[in-house]
Chains A and B, each alone.
Chain A
Amino acid sequence: MSSTKNSVSYDALVVGAGIAGGEAALNLAVNGFKVLLVEKDLSVGGNMIKLSKVFPTLDCSACITTPKVSEISRHPNITIFTGSEASNIRRVADNHFVANITRQPRYVRVEDCTACQLCEKACPVSVRDQYQFGLIGRKAAYIPFSIASPKAAAIDIENCTLCGACERACPTNCIDFTQEVEHLEMQFKTVILATGFEMFDANRIPRYGFGKYKNVLTSLQMEREIAPTRPFNTILRPSDGKVPDKIAYVLCVGSRDASVGNPICSQICCMYSIKQSQLLMGALPMADVTIYYINIRAFGKGFEDFYQQAKGMGVNFVKGKVGSISETENGNLMLRYEDINEGIVKEEEHDMVILSVGVLPNEGTTSLFSEEQLMLDPYRFVHQTDGLANPSHTSIDGVFVAGTATGPMDIPDAILSAGSASSEAISYLLK
């Protein structure tokens, strides 16, 4: 069942509430424009809110994200719809877009939820926690993660037994299984796309054993293991709970690799791997960490020093192309690689391997529009029609793009790009 309503209009529709969408919405809001920020996830914050610390300063990611997210959430000119998606966006005239907005039911009245977690305690179900990338379980009645915004429970209806335990435990009676999908049609004067990126699916390179060998993880899983809101009390390997002491990183997994359809450099994985290696050395001082790389791309401000700092801490850098990974009897992993400097094939055993997976375009962005075509670049990111002079312009007049929707970039660049998109959108609104 679903309900359909017509609703009010806004100056701007911002699609995607990662750091880029949030920043763009805030810039518009402080300049007096009314913004609808639509996010498909249950929380705003995108990928950044899931990170541990950030390169190259090692500032705590949550400490940067939380105040920003709270400013966005409290701004009177910003309305946030989480668990929602925009579709069928069409330009009917200059400064006039119409879009369909679909709001999925959360089965919790967010305004009444105090995040007391009593529903979580009462729920008997356990399923894999998507916010910890499957490393641990969560309940079907759950708060997405401790710094989620809104910090309110949600019901995973797909896995809910409808036993009503959460409802009986809730002191504010905010659980509501009568909620239904809402369909709204809304009017906007401009649109900003901040739909972000997807991660390369490591299953697509079977010779690395992801999904088959339990101790082969992705970089996002390791990001969770070293975050303050981590799944375990310390870093543990998923096969048997051992504290690892010989960890390998394999760089360029699904990047710079035409055979998997992604020939470009993902720009962030060298640096996030170097960051994680430093954090691992801090958390496990006796551990050996080796990074297998083709080239280290330390191109940004302070990046080269950060790389040298990792070397100074004892991180072992091996210029080598990893061909395959196999598992030994005790769950350790044997890496077979070509030592690029010596030109010979070698093998090395590690007890945990992290695949530094690359950045891919969010292919869903183009289907948001129903009448005009949003053009993509050759790598299927949103095409910047005037990449040098007006990098936030898209092929549709009045539609701007921010952040990693245009290509791989780090957080400072995503924020800069959001600044550009919001300034362009304001100029368009004032035309």
Chain B
Amino acid sequence: MEVEKGKTAKYLRDKQGVSEQVKENLKAFTQIKKRILDALKESDMTILQLSQKLEMPTHEVMYNLLSMVKFGWVETGEIDDMDEYYTYKLKQ
């Protein structure tokens, strides 16, 4: 069967479906992303501050936030006076 170029994802979706786990992972990341972006809209924050505000373990904030830096939604700001923790801000 010839599948139209540019529409092949639909072809595979119809053929084999998508697992619940994959859908759950996307849902979880979309929520975390929204919560982090909403928090940073209020002010620039360190990972410790974000963790307190979102009630999320620091390592989870770290992993998701730094992924969001890589994906171009967030950027690294200044480091504190002790040269220990950076603040993070929304990418303009």
Contacts and interface: CB of A to CB of B under 8 A. Distances in A.
Contacts of A231: 66, 70
A286 interface: yes
B13 A241 contact: no
B8 A178 contact: yes
Contact of A161 (B7, B22, B61, B85): B22
A159 B25 contact: yes
Interface of A: 121, 124-127, 135-139, 158-164, 166-168, 170, 173, 175-178, 214, 231-233, 236, 238-243, 245, 286, 331
A124 B6 contact: no
Contacts of A242: 84-85
A270 to B, nearest CB: 30
Interface string B4-39: 011111111100001000110110011001000000
Contacts of A178: 3, 8, 11-12
Contacts of B5: 173, 176
A241 to B, nearest CB: 4
Instruction: Identify which of A236, A241, A286 gathers the most chain B CB atoms within 10 Å of its CB.
Output: A241
For the residues of B in contact with A, the DSSP-based class is: helix
Contacts of A236: 62, 66, 86
A214 B58 CA distance: 10
B64 to A, nearest CB: 7
Given A136-B70, A137-B64, A137-B67, A240 B58 contact: yes
A143 to B, nearest CB: 12
Contacts of B18: 160-162
A126 B59 contact: no
Tell which of A127, A137, A168, A214 has the most Cβ of chain B within 10 Å. A137
Q: Which 9 A-B pairs have the closest CB atoms?
A: A137-B67, A164-B9, A177-B8, A162-B13, A177-B12, A240-B58, A241-B47, A214-B59, A126-B29
A431 B47 CA distance: 65
B61 to A, nearest CB: 8
Contact of B63 (A159, A176, A238, A243): A238
B79 interface: yes
Nearest to B86: A241
B71 A243 contact: no
A236 B67 CA distance: 13
A126 B69 CA distance: 12
B83 to A, nearest CB: 6
Contacts of A239: 58-59, 62
Contact of B9 (A127, A163, A173, A286): A163
A56 to B, nearest CB: 30
A177 B14 CA distance: 11
Contacts of B33: 126
